Amino acid sequence: IAPPSSGEGAVYCTSWVDNMPKYENFLRSAILREVPSSESSNIDQSLPLAGLRIVLNAGNGSGYFFNKILQDLGADVSNSIHLTPDGTFPPKTGVPNPEYSAMIDETTAVCEACEADIGIMLDTDADRCGFVVPTSSSGKENGAVQYEALNRNRLIALLAVIFQSSSPGCTFVTDSVTSEGLASFLKNLGLNHVRYLKGYANVIGKARELTESGKALAEVAIETSGHCAMRENGYLDDGTYTAVKVIGLLARVSRSKSKNGEGRMSLLDLISELDEKEEVQELRMDVSDGSLDTTNLIFQTIVKLIETGCADENKGWELDTDNLEGVRVRIGDGGFFMLRKSLHDPIISLQVEGSSVQSIRDNVVSPILACFQVEDCELSSSINISCLTDY
């Protein structure tokens, strides 16, 4: 979209250059491409989003401009919120983050009030996104349309449905904390899944490496946080482009259902085979002395104890030997837990996913707490484990 400003092939500018019109046109063209014209349709082909009610929550961040693009292409965006990029954050939600419940709840409330077809949530710099969508195509509950978040593993699964059709057998590169259910979902679609490291630069770099080396066609690099980069968009992590793909799918399916005289479409119906666990949490443990060296020492000690525990059949733990970050263990109910350390802070993170709170207590938290009670083990005095004892 824009030439490099330094290094080989750089273009040096002596005056202000506004690249936004060019990028806005690029996104418009992308949406038009995603919703191709049909001779049998009576819809104005210059307005492919006509009939869709879309709520954009830009969080007063840089993604505000996307609202005008959606409007120009026919969408009803009259209920969009927080479109003023004035350096402030919405008072109810604070820093916009499509994973935060506050942003999800506010977007959901607006969608419910206007019966939107979809809500789009962008973070401050619009490189991450998430969605709010009708719960199912079955209709209303108590006279009102119900909504749920479509983010994290759900968003990855939906993008997989899209690319299963456009690029069969391609590869998705994700971060390390995606679910066991997602891995099965991608496999059942005939797609390859490379579960790599956390960090958007890591997943993007890996995807680019795989594609450029010819080892795989990595169409998508995505984190559960909503950072997403696609090969067709030059591996630029761009929340608005992710939204283009999702909105394009919604428009195509909605048009098809309307033609066949069917009702409202929920994108969640397309990923109904995704196995989701009831309990998903990240438990963060602070190292007492604030030292990264101590953090590393404690982390390695816990990892050894967990690996030893995997050899105990009574625990029902299965060590994930393909994992590339920290230590990841499958548990009996189809869930997992993963222990990893922060790269920059004295924090050890425990990601847990299971069928219930009780399952996580019994299969993860209690056994790990037992590790802290091993004879001669001084872990409990070196790290704050209140998130485990209070769980």
* Beta carbons of 228 and 221 less than 8 angstroms apart: yes
Instruction: Answer whether residue 259 shows pLDDT above 70.
Output: no
Digit-coded pLDDT (tens) for 202-243: 999 999 999 999 999 999 999 999 999 999 999 999 999 999
* Nearest by Cα to 73 from 49, 54, 97, 108: 49
Instruction: Answer whether residue 262 shows pLDDT above 70.
Output: no
The per-residue DSSP string of 269-294 comes to GGGTT----SEEEEEEEEBTT--HHH
| pLDDT at residue 234, rounded to an integer | 97
Per-position b or e across 209-231, b if 16+ CB within 10 A of its CB:
ebbeeeebebbbbbbbbbbbbbb
How sure is the predictor about 1, in pLDDT bands with cuts at 50, 70 and 90? low
Digit-coded pLDDT (tens) for 308-339: 999 998 889 999 999 999 999 999 899 999 99
**Whole-number Å distance between alpha carbons of 125 and 190:** 33
- pTM (two decimals): 0.92
Digit-coded pLDDT (tens) for 76-103: 999 999 999 998 999 999 999 999 999 9
How sure is the predictor about 8, in pLDDT bands with cuts at 50, 70 and 90? confident
Instruction: Answer whether residue 41 shows pLDDT above 90.
Output: no
Instruction: Answer whether residue 166 shows pLDDT above 70.
Output: yes
Residue 71: exposure state from Cβ atoms within 10 A (0-12, 13-18, ≥19): middle
E-strand ranges in 135-177 read 147-150, 171-174
| pLDDT at residue 7, rounded to an integer | 81
Helix intervals (H) in 195-238: 200-213
| pLDDT at residue 44, rounded to an integer | 78
Q: Which pair of structure tokens corresponds to residue 271?
A: 């990923």
- What residue type is assigned to position 161 of the chain? V
Average pLDDT, the chain: 92
| pLDDT at residue 314, rounded to an integer | 86
Digit-coded pLDDT (tens) for 139-148: 566 678 899 9
User: Token match 């108590």: residue?
Assistant: 142
